[in-house]
């Protein structure tokens, strides 16, 4: 593997993570387009910016089970590859245990947010939020690109990188440029 590629397993294993490292879960509808893209791009960006040790587990899932067990959509795989990111993710549905396992559960759009919130057990400490809360416009949606063209995927990717930087600024006080 060339040095510009990021092994997904690197961070999943939680190797070299700080003691207080956190777990982050990205959630969309099918877990084949947006959330595996977010998982890969977030992992890559935190590594590039020197925040890898702040995370133990970075994962993604869908609110629906239509695509469980499938690899990400080829358009997501290609887009990630274009940015030097490899994904070995297989789609899975949101599980009740996720609300115990993850510190942040980040929804791609408001429909995902509603579905996650309604599945959240009482007393779960997980912070369930719109990922777009970490953008300038706090309610920015990462729109479903499934039935559209490549441009939608490109737009999603740019949003994800922007929100990742916002997350690092807000959660860890990171001093990073746009
Ligand atoms: P995602 O996109 O939620 O970003 O993974 C979708 C993938 C599949 C479907 C809808 C959205 N679908 O209806 O099958």
d(CA 69, CA 164): 26
- What string of DSSP letters covers 57-83? EEEEEESS-TTTTPPPPHHHHHHHHHT
Predicted pLDDT of residue 15: 65
User: Which one of 33, 34, 44, 75 is the catalytic residue?
Assistant: 34
Kindly give the residue spans of alpha helices, DSSP state H, lying in the chain: 8-12, 34-48, 74-82, 98-101, 110-119, 150-172
Substitution site in 26, 29, 154 for ligand 1 pocket (most atoms within 8 Å of beta carbon): 29
Q: Is 109 in the pocket of ligand 1 (CB under 6 A)?
A: no
Could you state, in order of their start, the residue ranges of all structural domains in the chain? Answer: 22-172
- Residue 138, judged by CB atoms within 10 A of its CB (0-12, 13-18, 19+), counts as exposed
Q: Is 146 in the pocket of ligand 1 (CB under 6 A)?
A: yes
List the chain pLDDT tens, one digit each, 178 residues.
334 444 444 445 456 899 999 999 999 999 999 999 999 999 999 999 999 999 999 999 999 999 999 999 999 999 999 999 999 999 999 999 999 999 999 999 999 999 999 999 999 999 999 999 999 988 999 999 999 999 999 999 999 999 999 999 999 999 988 7
**Which homologous superfamily is 22-172 in?**
Response regulator (3.40.50.2300)
Predicted pLDDT of residue 19: 94
Question: Looking at the DSSP assignment, which residues form a beta bridge with residue 143?
Answer: none
Substitution site in 27, 28, 31, 32 for ligand 1 pocket (most atoms within 8 Å of beta carbon): 32
5 to each of 45, 77, 82, 153, how far by Cα in Å?
12, 13, 10, 20
Nearest alpha-carbon partner for 11 in 49, 51, 58, 48: 58
Residue 33 annotated among the catalytic residues of the structure:
no
Ligand 1 atom nearest residue 28's Cα: 3
Q: Pairing relation of β-strands 22-28 and 127-130?
A: unpaired
């Amino acid at each position: 593997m060339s040095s510009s590629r990021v092994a997904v397993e690197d961070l999943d294993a939680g190797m070299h993570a700080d003691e207080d490292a956190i777990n982050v879960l990205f959630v969309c509808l099918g877990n084949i387009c947006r959330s595996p893209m977010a998982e890969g791009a977030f992992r890559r960006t935190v590594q590039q910016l020197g925040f890898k040790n702040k995370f133990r587990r970075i994962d993604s899932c869908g609110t629906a089970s239509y695509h469980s067990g499938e690899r990400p959509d080829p358009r997501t795989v290609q887009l990630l590859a274009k940015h030097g990111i490899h994904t070995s993710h297989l789609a899975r549905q949101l599980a009740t245990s996720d609300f115990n396992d993850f510190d942040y559960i980040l929804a791609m759009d408001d429909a995902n947010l509603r579905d996650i919130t309604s599945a959240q057990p009482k007393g779960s400490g997980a912070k369930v939020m719109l990922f777009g809360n970490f953008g300038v416009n706090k309610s920015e949606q990462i729109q479903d690109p499934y039935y559209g063209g490549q441009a939608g995927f490109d737009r999603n990717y740019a949003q994800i990188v922007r929100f990742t930087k916002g997350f690092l600024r807000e959660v860890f006080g990171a001093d990073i440029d746009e």
